[in-house]
Structure 1
């Protein structure tokens, strides 16, 4: 009886001693699982855009938080800048070409890879909305020049004088020397590109610009070119660009970044590689700025540029933030 009692007590004590590390181990595993689950939880909804266009991401967020689609969010978001006469790189008030005409470019892309674009369009304040009409109301992807303008009128858009007095005065001053240059981080090529993910996890993107100041009439950069200035794949993510569009077109930059994310790179890694590809083709040049932003299906974001000074705005349930991007060149 004494031996049985001893063995019983010993077994109970041993079980008690074993249970402490086992319980601790279980707790650690549960804690780690909770952390992993939190880290894996997608960030949605979310809107990001090139530069510190806070009003644009704020407007996009208003759409997203109320359950609106990513497509509606990017359209409404960039429209804010198209209507802002103080923004001389987009929409009304944009700087003209060397002949004094304001011409606008824009594109938009939805979760199903539907897309629409307008190029070199005059007299219409919201090219992003016309681009969406091209996507939804025609069998085409792109409309250009007078054809795009006429289509806009047929869709109910009003004719608008895009050249403000301020932009006109600056153009007349420029004509005295007619020197063509693209100053780094100066508002003559600061396109707004926007990407969003809605509550359903669907991605859309939009990009709109008045292009380079005092460009040759008819010039079109990367902004309205699907794959260059903007690309979205709903299974992977999206990317958009700003800066000197000719260099982005040469590498089909936004498509490249999305494909790099498809191969497993993070948005940040993909943006860095996108800029490096451009710089490899410009080994003796540092006189231009390019900025990329990207987002993947989980809501991870990234941004990278050639010169310091580029940033991107983001709006999530945590609020609005601005993110200075790392640069290829450090000064």
Structure 2
């Protein structure tokens, strides 16, 4: 079952998910809380959703001596190039006009950042974002300008709308109203955080955004501090779910700042979700999930609804994990 169907079938069903001891153990305790780094906990890769192929690729890059940045890019490319993934890259579901538009960003251990929004016809949006970071004086390119830049850098133009995605769009046009569909089964960004053997952090986020969105809509994924934030002194965080809610709380930056104040990654992710829900405690028609890692190699994850999962590759083990949630 793909993760979109899994969310649709479970998130609002009222079925609780029990978090076992093995899941809780993913928040790895350290014997000395004052230790800045713990070499036993890294390298590591953590990503939103069940994306073992992506985390395996990133892990392989790290094992071969690649940087955390290289690992993020190559890991996310796996999902961007998979037509079975209907929320990222090639095969992503289109907007209400039937056009697939991509958003992505990437951030390294030095605080460098690159982003593309409303990108057409280029599969590897996160790789274009890296080129923006490394080859231009800017941090964000949009729309036609982003596409033209990508072509100038050797990326190939390609129709991103697959037959399956086109069919889903045509079915949506028949049965749905022309308004944003605010629920939790039609947006599942991949966000990835990596730490190399030296303890340096990088992160990336890539998505085709909210399915059947208004043409021109941009979510949180490519926006620094919302969909992704990396501070190599403290840690990193990334988000998935309804981008509008993440944007309004600058969620990933919030998670990192909470870790700066002394919270564990788990505590920080939980607090970020609680802040969203505090303003709308009775609203249950959307999903947001966070994952985070600190400089000690500790990890955390939390979401509003059951149905969210994350994949972590650490200590030679590539595991998909179901975290705790606000609604059980």
Q: Aligning the two structures, in what range does the TM-score lie when normalised by the shorter sequence?
A: 0.7 to 0.9
CA distances 1:128-160 after superposition (whole Å, capped 9, x unpaired): 000000000011110000000000001110001
**Would you say how many aligned residue pairs link Structure 1 and Structure 2?**
294
Match of 1:46 among 44, 47, 53: 44
> Which residue is equivalent to 1:57?
55
Deviation sequence 1:257-282 (CA, Å, 0-9, x none): 00000010000000000000111122
Alignment of 1:101-140 (within 5 A): 101-140=99-138
Tell whether the 8 Å contact from 1:107 to 1:225 is kept in structure 2 after alignment. yes
Q: Distance in 1 between matches of 2:134 and 2:62?
A: 21
Q: Any conservation in 1 of the 2:105–2:205 contact (CA below 8 Å)? A: yes
1:280 lines up with 2:278 in the alignment: yes
Specify which structure has the higher proportion of helix.
1
- Asked if the contact 2:48–2:191 (Cα under 8 Å) also holds between the matched residues in 1, the reply is yes
State the distance in 2 between where 1:85 and 1:276 align: 34
Whole-angstrom distance in 1 between the partners of 2:315 and 2:266: 21
After superposition, the CA RMSD in angstroms is 1.5
* Corresponding position: 1:174 with 2:140: no
Q: Could you tell me the TM-score, scaled by structure 2's length?
A: 0.87
| C-alpha contact (below 8 Å) 2:259/2:268 kept by paired residues | yes
1:86-97 pair list within 5 angstroms: 86-97=84-95
What is the 5 A alignment of 1:8-87? 36=31, 41-42=38-39, 43-87=41-85
SS of the residue corresponding to residue 176 of structure 1 reads: helix
- Counterpart of 1:239? 237
Structure 2 CA distance, aligned partners of 1:211 and 1:118?
A: 13
User: Which among 309, 313, 320 is matched to residue 315 of structure 1?
Assistant: 313
Which residue is 1:225 aligned to? 223
Aligned equivalent of 2:249: 251
Residue 289 of structure 2 aligns to a residue whose secondary structure is: strand
Q: Which residue of 2 aligns with 1:154?
A: 152
CA distance in 1, matches of 2:319, 2:88: 22
173, 177, 187: which one aligns with 1:189:
187
Larger radius of gyration: 1
1:164 to 162, 165, 168: 162
- The answer as to whether partners of 1:309 and 1:325 remain within 8 angstroms in 2 is no
Greater RCO, 1 or 2 (C-alpha within 8 Å, sep 6+): 2
